[in-house]
Every structure is written in C-alpha cells, then in structure tokens.
Chains A and B, each alone.
Chain A
Amino acid sequence: MTLTGLGADLTWDTVSKEAEFERLMGLHERLVLRTALRLLGRVEDAQDASQEVFLRLYRHLGAVAEATLEAWLYRTTVNVCYDLLRKRPRLAAPGPEPAVEAVAGEALEQAAKRRLLEQGLKRLSPQERAAVVLCSLEGLSTAEAAEVMGVAEGTVRSHLSLARTRLKEYVGRLWP
C-alpha cells in the first residue's frame, strides 16, 4: 500500500514514521527554536540549527525514547549550536555595544533592559551562555543542565555564577 506524503511515495511504515515525527516536531518545536535562538542570538541561525536538530530526530526516531526526548532535544540543540558557533565565527563575535537612551515608562524601560540583557548574553562564552539559557531561561536544574551540556554539575554552577555576574555588570554599566 502506498500513500503520498511529503511529496514522495511512502509505504505504510513510512507513513506511520512521518506521522510520529510530525507529532513530536509539533510538540517540541518551540523548545528547540527558543533554545537555539537564545544560544545563537539570530532567528535565521536559530532556524538552521532547529532544522538540523529535527533532521537528527528524524534519523534517530526509533532510537530515542519519548520519556527522554526532551533531554535529548536540549542536548542536541546545544551541540548543534556549538557546532554552528565554531563554523560561523561571526556568531561568536559580540558586536559593538549598543547606545542606550533613557525611555519614559516602566514597560519600555524593561524592554530596553531586556535588549541589553540579550546583548550581554552574546558577550558570554558559549558554555556560560548555555548555563544561563538552560538554568535561568528554560528552568532546568543544574543537574539536568550538566547532563545536557556533558559537564559536571559544579562546572555548570560555576558557569552560571560567572555569567550572572557578568550580565549584571554589563547591564548596570550601560543602563543610564
């Protein structure tokens, strides 16, 4: 029996695999794209990284248990982003410091501070950035982040502490 899906003739097994993949991609695409965007800082690069992550998921669909899928996706996303940062040096370059002007209103002030924080994240090392993204933005514990990053838990704590200090210093220095 053949069906048509994804633009090619498929067998029943392939169809079921495609359906399963589509379901998992729909469930986790936000997680992957959000993490990649915070690690890389640019939407286009984050999209490239997310596509690579889902292609890897497609290849290893039968080998990854759904219970551990989230951790697998985090780990794969971090590794793919590290690879991209190595291949594209311009991603690792922090760029010039932004000129910040005082804005009226609390909401605008917070938005401006968030932009500063994003700039500050780009100035961190990839490991420090990953620690902040996984623990402070994605809400993982340091143990989970350590497993994702493939380092000791103490290393994650160290990266996290150093990153927070740098971020506070950066935003406090630039905010008028």
Chain B
Amino acid sequence: MNDGELDLLLREMREEELPAGALAAVRAGVRTRIRSRRRLWLAAWLWVPAAVAVAVLAIAVFVPSVLRPVRGPEVARRSPAVPKIAFQRFPVPAIHRKNTVISPANHRENTVKSPWAHREITAKSRSTHGVNVVMPRSGEAAEERTEFIKMYTDDPDVVILWAMNSKGETR
C-alpha cells in the first residue's frame, strides 16, 4: 500500500456518517447527568443550612457545660484538719521527801522519824527544785500526782506542756 491509497482511505473514513442514534444518546445522557447534578446541588443547598443549624444548636447546648469551671474535689475545699494533739503521759517524777517512803503495796506512808522530823518541808525547800513538782503541804495526802500533757503543734519548734495535779491545778 502506498501513501496515495492510504490518503484515499483516510478521506473516505472522514466522510463516514456516525451511527444512527448515537448523537441523540449523547444528548440524552448529558441532560440526564446535568439534571441529577442539579438535584444534588439543590439537596446540598437544603441540607447544608440545616446541618449548620444543628451544629450551631449542638455547640450552644454543649459548649457552655464544657467551658464551666471545674469544681475541685471536696477535700480541697475544706479547711485543713486540726492536728491531733498527741497526749503523752510522762512518768510522775519522784517526790523527794526526806522522811517519807511510799510503799507500793498499800500506798501507806511509813514515816521514819528523823532527828529533823519536827521540820516541815515547805515549797521553798531545796530538795523540791523542779518545775513540775508539787510538794505536799503538811497534812496533805502523799499520793498527790501531777499529770503532764505534751501537745505538739504544726510548728515543730512549739510544744505545749500542760501540767495538772490531782487537785485540778494546772500550769
């Protein structure tokens, strides 16, 4: 086959008619697709504002609750608890009485008369030095005791000592 024959064939092809109905089918197809596209747009124009309205409503309902300040835990809002007072009982200091011996069995006093028994021991006596000691006066019971309460505070440097004797006198 030479170029002339090929050109002749190509010219004949150029003049060939399109299949019948093919153009009409194209037009119908294009119109259908444009119509469906327009319906889609119409639906979008209807649905998008509705969706936006729902979203705005949802934001208006839920966002204030989200933005509300967070309440702290109950414990945090209470005032700090009062520290417990530690009670500590100290042993009663020995009462130095020259002429008195306390028997542990019956707590009865056995007085040993000394040559100086006529002397009465007073609070000013030298043997009664000590802050927490209450000396028995003449005629008082020998079992007089002093209770000490040691109170610890939050400040470790501050300790309260509370002394109370059996008569209810406190210091």
Tally A-B pairs: CB < 8 A: 79
Encode B54-66 as 1/0 by CB contact (under 8 A) with A: 0000000000000
Q: Is the CB of A30 within 8 A of B29?
A: no
A171 neighbours in B (Cβ, 8 Å): 1, 6, 9
Encode A52-76 as 1/0 by CB contact (under 8 A) with B: 0011001000000000000000000
Q: Select the stretch in A89-97, A112-120, A144-152 that faces chain B.
A: A112-120
Encode B14-38 as 1/0 by CB contact (under 8 A) with A: 1010110011011101110111011
Distance from B61 Cβ to chain A, minimum over Cβ atoms (Å): 36
Docked CA distance A136–B13 (Å): 10
Supply 6 A–B pairs (Cβ within 8 Å), ascending by A: A8-B39, A32-B26, A33-B26, A117-B9, A117-B13, A171-B1
Interface residues of B (CB under 8 A from A): 1-3, 6-10, 12-14, 16, 18-19, 22-23, 25-27, 29-31, 33-35, 37-39, 42
Interface residues of A (CB under 8 A from B): 6-8, 25, 29-30, 32-34, 37-38, 43, 46-47, 50-51, 54-55, 58, 110, 113-114, 117-118, 132, 136-139, 164, 167-168, 171-172, 175
